[in-house]
A and B are shown apart, each in its own frame.
Chain A
Amino acid sequence: MRTSLNNIQAIEDHLFGYNAPGDALVFEARMILSSSLRDDVQQQQNTYAVINQYSRKQLKAEIAAVQQKLTTEPAHQGFMQRIINLFKK
């Protein structure tokens, strides 16, 4: 892999706690010495949060589609109707 990708992998290993204790210490020392590395680590952490947000949104859309299917498809309509009826009482 090219250097920039190796750096990304090293940051990932640091953030996910994959490093052996010795390597973790070396990485932390590099972070103290390099503000650009600190910045990259911060941005990569933001990136994982963005991936999580994107993924949840996609999953929620899949779940909403399932709910729609259960509401509209004749094979499932009785199931959903029984639940809707609960709220009419």
Chain B
Amino acid sequence: MAEQIPILKSAAERETFFIGLYKKAFPAVARYINRMGGTFDQAQDVFQDALVIYYEKVQASAGNIRVSEKAYLLGIAKHLWSQAYKAGSKNQPLQDTDLPAETEEQLSTHKLMHYLETAGQKCMELLKAYYYDHLPVADVATLFGYTGIRSATVAKYKCLEKVRDKVKQNSLSYADFVE
């Protein structure tokens, strides 16, 4: 059955959304991975990555997505399974940047991420709300306590400038972040 999903605006809304998806689709995904000879841990990894992909699609569509969630997640999971495990390749979940031997550039990427997760966290959360969660600017203003759309927009560009300067300092190449 096709369902319309509203834009998710807060961590609490996302939690409810993900719990619902686990209940709806994880049993079918786990049965599939089990049939394919996979383990419970692998089923969990595949399902987590499928949820990330689905979330990104839902948020980018600004609430205009209408799909059967269970069928969609099972489809993504099957694809992820065939990509990551079927060919006997190494388990490489989305976002895995932990490679055995780190080059200088990789160390620099980790250093930058660590900085952004600590000192730059407030800015990164604001930028995440705009560019990753795709929240409307009015919602971002409310969520982050700005008086209006204009001040929230100025704050976004200030943060973008701050992070861009940091990225520049680290002289990272785009390829470091492309998955």
Interface size for B (C-beta < 8 A) is 47
Interface string of B87-125 (1 = CB under 8 A from A): 000000011010000000000000011001100000010
User: Are A52 and B40 in contact (CB-based, < 8 A)?
Assistant: no
| Complex-state Cα separation, A9 to B167, whole angstroms | 17
Interface string of A62-78 (1 = CB under 8 A from B): 11111101100000100
Interface string of A1-21 (1 = CB under 8 A from B): 100110011001000000000
CB interface residues, A 16-53, toward B, < 8 Å: 40, 42-53
User: Are B95 and A60 in contact (CB-based, < 8 A)?
Assistant: yes
B77 to chain A, nearest CB (A): 13
User: Are A84 and B40 in contact (CB-based, < 8 A)?
Assistant: yes
User: Are B174 and A62 in contact (CB-based, < 8 A)?
Assistant: no
Residues of A within 8 A of B44 (CB): 67
Q: Which of B19, B112, B157 contacts A50 (CB 8 A)?
A: B112
Residues of A within 8 A of B11 (CB): 62
B167 to chain A, nearest CB (A): 5
Residues of B within 8 A of A79 (CB): 22-23
A48 to chain B, nearest CB (A): 6
A67 to chain B, nearest CB (A): 6
User: Are A43 and B27 in contact (CB-based, < 8 A)?
Assistant: no
Q: Residues of B at under 8 Å CB distance from A?
A: 11, 14-15, 18-19, 22-23, 26-27, 30-31, 34, 39-40, 43-44, 48, 51-52, 55, 94-95, 97, 112-113, 116-117, 124, 127-128, 131-133, 154, 157-158, 160-161, 163-164, 167-168, 172-174, 177-178
Q: Residues of A at under 8 Å CB distance from B?
A: 1, 4-5, 8-9, 12, 40, 42-60, 62-67, 69-70, 76, 79, 82-84, 86-87
Q: Could you jot down 14 A-B contacts, CB within 8 Å?
A: A8-B160, A46-B167, A47-B163, A47-B164, A49-B178, A50-B112, A52-B132, A54-B113, A55-B133, A60-B48, A60-B52, A63-B18, A83-B26, A86-B34
